[in-house]
Structure 1
């Protein structure tokens, strides 16, 4: 099995984060509430939430 490493800069991660949050009709606090507190996030909202969590982890935030 071959492992492929992908290098992404912090700037690229922040740009992707901006794209994701721009797709939301509400702010991140509302997304967090829907995804974590209320469990009412749509599948698309859940996907965005999960990617934002991953990006924040990679950025150390």
Structure 2
């Protein structure tokens, strides 16, 4: 054994259109608006686990979109 580690990296390409579509899907799943979600998750820390998951994904999408 050479001690060398071969790592395989898979790259996934996604368009801004796909990211925005996913963002809309996530927001449509909520019974309230985005502002309320961010308030619950970031400010009040009262978001449910599902709301927190949606919040985290929205933050990731916004990062990828450069927002």
Same fold (TM over 0.5): yes
The structure 1 segments of at least 4 consecutive aligned residues displaced by more than 2 Å after TM superposition are: none
Q: In terms of Rg, which structure is larger?
A: 2
Q: How far, CA to CA, are the matches of 2:40 and 2:32 in structure 1?
A: 11
State the Cα distance separating 1:15 from its structure 2 match.
0.3
Aligned positions of 1:1-61 closer than 5 A = 1-61=7-67
Deviations 1:9-30 (A, max 9, x none): 0000000000000000000110
Structure with the higher fraction of residues in helix conformation: 1
TM-score of the pair, normalised by structure 2: 0.89
Q: How many residues are matched?
A: 61
- Deviation, structure 1 residue 36: 0.7
Q: Looking at both structures, which has the greater relative contact order when contacts are Cα pairs under 8 Å and sequence separation is at least 6?
A: 1
Unaligned residue ranges in structure 1 (runs of 5+): none
What's the C-alpha RMSD, in Å, of the aligned pairs?
A: 0.5
